[in-house]
Amino acid sequence: MIFTTSLTNCLSTPDALGFVNAPSLATFDVRSPSTGLLLASLPDMDLGILRATIDKAAVAQKEWAGRPAAERSDIMRRWCNLIIAQVHDLSAVLTAEMGKPLPESRSELLHAAAYVEWYAEEAKRIYGETFPAPSRDKRMLVIKQPIGVVGAITPWNFPASMVARKVAPALAVGCSVVLKPAEQTPLVALALHTLAQRAGFPDGVFNLILAAKGNAVGKELCTNTKVRKISFTGSTEVGRLLMRQCAEHIKKISLELGGSAPFIVFDDADLDAAIEGAMQAKFRNAGQTCVSANRIYIQDGIYDRFAEKLTEKVRKLSVGDGVTPGVAIGPMIDARSIKKLKSHVDDAITKGARLLCGGNRHGKSGTFFEPTVISNVRRDMLVACDETFGPVAPLIRFSTVEDVIEQANDTIYGLAAYFYANDLKKVWHVAEALEYGMVGINTGRMSSEAAPFGGMKQSGMGREGSRHGADDYLEMKYLCFGNL
């Protein structure tokens, strides 16, 4: 499989990237985290280009919002079909720039297409309401209108599905979008943007900004009065900064931020199912997900058996370049991630934890880390109180239901949680007590275009996916007719 051929197949013409060599623009490089090889040099767009793009989006949005919902829906469905038709080549692009195994890349792209399809259908279901007036001469109703220009900033770990999850609902309801993808993984976003153009989106409706640094772009999107809404997925630290920058204009903002997901296994759980769920929740995308199981709590009665079975499974995980058949764990996104993982493991061992497998950098090149299991972890260790964001599974022993609920909730984060149990009374109690926006019960994977994705506390605000995902891109307007 040749990466350059795959990228070209997703673009409008073989020379569609010719503008990157324009002498008036600086460029930045995109490199493979697996090999370090140069994949592309892209234009490092400045604030002048960004402001002109926002101006264009503001003009285009008015005409786009005025189109019938069915027409917007048809264009979005064509975009969905193009993504599915190009999924083979798009997967090669995604794996090359992000590193995840090809099967995971394919799964992500089909997930992205599912979001586009979902909101193609939701475009025709943006309903208002009427309600009884207090007097005979009045009529009262509510309509919903697109908020306007949306600034979207997407992360590197899911560079395709995060684009679809933000862009699709915005376009469906009649907004225009200015998208800034992560500088580490802009190529699949570029390909998706090209396919959107092929699908028939008018010029200026879906816009892409490529830049090596996100700070200046984020500030302009937050402070430019023509941008009416910000949607960001990334770290809580950056989310706080964007909130401060939006505050001056009281700008609507959606944030999907950090997570420190607890994964709880009670004595009455199906042990084998819990092991499979832990493998999914911890090691998918090499642990580089905001909903990754960060703290794994195991009740006393099954702790040793769980540790033994999980370690046996983890030892069998193959590490390597995502294009290699059979590879389950790809690279970390950069060398800083390796350093963080190693510091978390070393801190735990120094404080008395036991290393069951892994624990070190894998290989002499690339940014690979061994899948790792650590037992006898305490809550004061870094792996238990910081978001590790990698293939390191810390096992924490607990005794009672109330004890584990207290430990699970003892964090500033509240994105996702998982637990395995069979007693129905316990299931309801724990599900309601966990302070998280999403709870997986006897499952290690719960993301779906039909479900609202989002968190509580400092894991963010707003929801993506489901019918609720469209609400963040709409303004509610109350109309009162008098003298009738």
Catalytic residue numbers read 256, 290
The contacts of residue 402 (CB under 8 Å, 6+ apart) are none
Residue 201: what are its φ and ψ, rounded to 5°?
-65, 135
* Nearest partner of 170 among 157, 153, 158, 186, judged by Cα: 153
* Nearest partner of 222 among 153, 155, 134, 290, judged by Cα: 153
- Alpha carbon of 180 to those of 45, 164, 227, 266, 410: distances in Å? 10, 13, 13, 42, 33
Say if CB 93 and CB 192 are below 8 A apart.
no
Strand order in the sheet with 261-265: 354-357, 372-375, 392-398, 293-299, 261-265, 416-420, 438-441
- Alpha carbon of 370 to those of 56, 320, 330, 334, 338: distances in Å? 47, 10, 10, 15, 10
Say if CB 162 and CB 170 are below 8 A apart.
no
Burial class (CB in 10 A: 0-12, 13-18, 19+), 428: exposed
Say if CB 66 and CB 131 are below 8 A apart.
no
Residue 11: what are its φ and ψ, rounded to 5°?
-100, 165
SS3 label, residue 322: coil
* Nearest partner of 330 among 86, 35, 30, judged by Cα: 35
Tokens of 24: 């008036």
Residue type, 169: P
Residue type, 194: T
